Amino acid sequence: MTCRPRGGSIDVVMMGWVRVFAVGLVLLAPRICLSDSLAVVVNEVLYDPQGRDTGGEFIELYNRTDRDVCLYEYEAATGNGAYPDKWKSEWRGGRGDTVRAHGFFVIGEGAVTPVPDHVTTLDLQNGPDACMLVSPAGEVDLVGWGAHDFEEYYEGSPAPLSGSGASLGRDPDGADTGDNSADFTVFAAPSPGDFNHPPYDLAMARACLSRYSRPDHATLQVICLVENLGTAAFGRGARVHAACAGAEDTSMVTADIPPGASRPVAVDLANTGEGLHETRVWLTCALDRRRANDSLVTSILVRPAPVVINEFMFKPPAGGCEWAEVFNRSDALIDLGKWTLEDSGGRRRAIAEEACYVAPGGYLVLVEDEEDFRAAHPDCACPVMRPAGGWPTLNDSDGRDGSADMVVVRDSFGTCVDSVAYAAAWGKPGRSIERIDARARSTLASNWSPHFGASAGSPGRPNSVSVILPEAGGFLSLGRRTFSPDGDGSDDLLSVSVEVPEAAVVRLRVFDINGRPFKTLLDGDVVEERRVTFWDGTVKDGRPAPVGVYIVLLEAVPVAGGRAFRAKAPVVLVRR
């Protein structure tokens, strides 16, 4: 037992009359005795419930011993730290009040759930204030919060303020070092009648699809992260369940998880097919004391994604604005309500707070400024909107990692549906960046190209580079044998595919039938697997090439050394 001096006595105003609080001889003595071995302590306090303060306040007591304790003649009081010796009695234990061994006794108001052991109106304030428990033997337990001027209201130093809706609780439960700031912490989720920090508490932290799962696999592997939030190592034998699109299965935690650690558990499910699927994961464990954190609902994406980033503008022309177009490549109506848009900064901005549908094969353009966008693209027929959460400014100069910025779209569960990291060199001032193939990966730089044509971009309609793509095969393939670059929107571009067996330095040029070079499409670019590029029918200085037959010549030298290889293919340029 430790003691510290105090000044004066503690008077408590109770039902309009003044009396000596608790055991008078003890409290009127010149010293308050604070026990470091109390059987029962104040374990948790909620003084500022969410919303209205009335009805939700509580004081939780905890029995630290291995035996039941009768609370007859125990007394609890609240202290107003704005004044010295300002205590008010809140509860006095009756003959039937008992707290079980290592159990709890809650003194609380009528709105507290579960129903307190003793229901009463409390007068807990937001601080600086205090709560005191006095045993029949005169042992005192104090907890004070906020910036106190009077030492009688706390032990050691005061606990921090909790904020609205959060409670102050001992961590671990029952810990009593004689210092409120060390013993008490803030808990966002109050737990009257239960452990603040249970010894056994498993939680389902998150779940995602394994990166090794593919649409053509018979099964999908869902990786579930199980976290031990308790104070004891346990978890062996717990079951982890997953359900998605009618498929359900389970797996077992094979070893105990240390406190504060987590362990991934894989659950195999029958393949649900490509797309975005809502998935529920949960765990079952007999020892687990808290069930509220045992399950979650998320989504898994079996690529390719139903919605993709299809075009974006990060170097707008004068008077223009930044924008990004998303494309629904699926055959289903997609609701983008509660989805988010973000840049490399990671701040998620809501696209729409309510339902926001994109039709199959349809577009939605998200803009920095709707008025500026409409002025620059009056012919855009698809829905156009500024994200409800604001626009993430897109950088146009590279950072240390070699990229300028990112465009990321997440669904309502936070699952990344599509993302693209771009470099400054991708774009030309006043030109959008277009996706070449909606089914190819967004992460491939070779799947993006500046817009071709007289306008700044093609929002709300097929991209200028969404032409017939060459079939893979051989070193060099052309999308068509004849094209007509006359600006009518039909067959204006020739797509050229380069495919190499190993990383190579590539040069790709266009010659006329007399062997004269007319245009260089790739000049020393390193191609690792496949690269698609385009010829718009112009020559070196940008003038239209004459009608005629041309030869596309590929020359590639392996980066690792070795024999160079060449390939060529003819194409006919016509004009209508």
Per-residue pLDDT of the chain (576 residues; tens, 9 = 90+): 333 333 333 443 333 323 334 333 333 333 344 444 689 999 999 999 987 767 899 999 999 999 999 999 999 999 999 999 999 999 999 999 999 999 999 999 999 999 999 999 998 988 899 999 999 999 999 999 999 999 999 999 999 999 899 999 999 899 999 999 999 999 998 999 999 988 999 999 999 998 777 777 788 899 999 999 999 999 999 999 999 988 999 999 999 999 999 999 999 999 888 888 999 999 999 999 888 899 999 999 888 889 999 999 999 998 899 999 999 998 889 999 999 999 999 999 999 999 999 999 999 999 999 999 999 999 999 999 999 999 999 999 999 888 999 999 999 999 999 999 999 999 889 999 999 888 788 888 888 999 988 889 999 999 988 766 666 557 898 988 999 998 777 788 898 989 888 899 999 999 999 899 999 999 998 988 888 899 999 998 889 999 999 999 999 999 988 888 899 999 999 987
Residue 114 maps to a domain: yes
360 and 450 inside one domain: yes
284 and 167 inside one domain: no
461 and 481 inside one domain: no
293 and 310 inside one domain: no
The domain that holds 342 is classified in CATH as 2.60.40.1260
Residue 435 maps to a domain: yes
The whole-angstrom separation of Cα 67 and Cα 135 is 16
CA distances from 488 to 149, 314, 350, 482, 524 (A): 81, 26, 38, 15, 32
425 and 552 inside one domain: no
- Structural tokens at position 364: 């939605």
What was the pLDDT predicted at 4?
A: 38
Residue 383 maps to a domain: yes
The domain that holds 220 is classified in CATH as 2.60.40.10
483 and 562 inside one domain: yes
What was the pLDDT predicted at 14?
A: 35
Whole-prediction pTM: 0.62
41 and 119 inside one domain: yes
Task: Return the number of other C-beta atoms located less than 10 Å from residue 108's C-beta.
Answer: 26
User: Omega of the bond prior to 128 within 30 degrees of 0, cis?
Assistant: yes
Residue 415 maps to a domain: yes
Residue 381 maps to a domain: yes
What was the pLDDT predicted at 127?
A: 82
Q: Render 396-460 in DSSP notation, one character per residue.
A: -S--TTS--EEEEEE-TT--EEEEEEE-GGG--TT--EEES-TTS-TT-GGGEEE--SSSS--TT
Residue 195 maps to a domain: no
Domain boundary among 253, 283, 302: 302
In the beta sheet, which residues pair with residue 265? 224
Domain boundary among 466, 494, 512: 466
What was the pLDDT predicted at 367?
A: 97
Report CA dihedral (342, 346, 348, 351) to the nearest 10 degrees: 0
171 and 25 inside one domain: yes
Residue 509 maps to a domain: yes
The domain that holds 473 is classified in CATH as 2.60.40.2550
74 and 167 inside one domain: yes
Domain tally, the chain: 4
206 and 298 inside one domain: yes
Closest-CA residue to 431 (of 525, 343, 541, 322):
322
| Cβ atoms of 529 and 559 closer than 8 Å | no
Residue 229's domain comprises 202-302
The whole-angstrom separation of Cα 294 and Cα 285 is 9
Domain boundary among 422, 448, 466: 466
Residue 429 maps to a domain: yes
Tell me the backbone φ, ψ of residue 142, rounded to 5 degrees.
-120, 140
65 and 143 inside one domain: yes
297 and 309 inside one domain: no
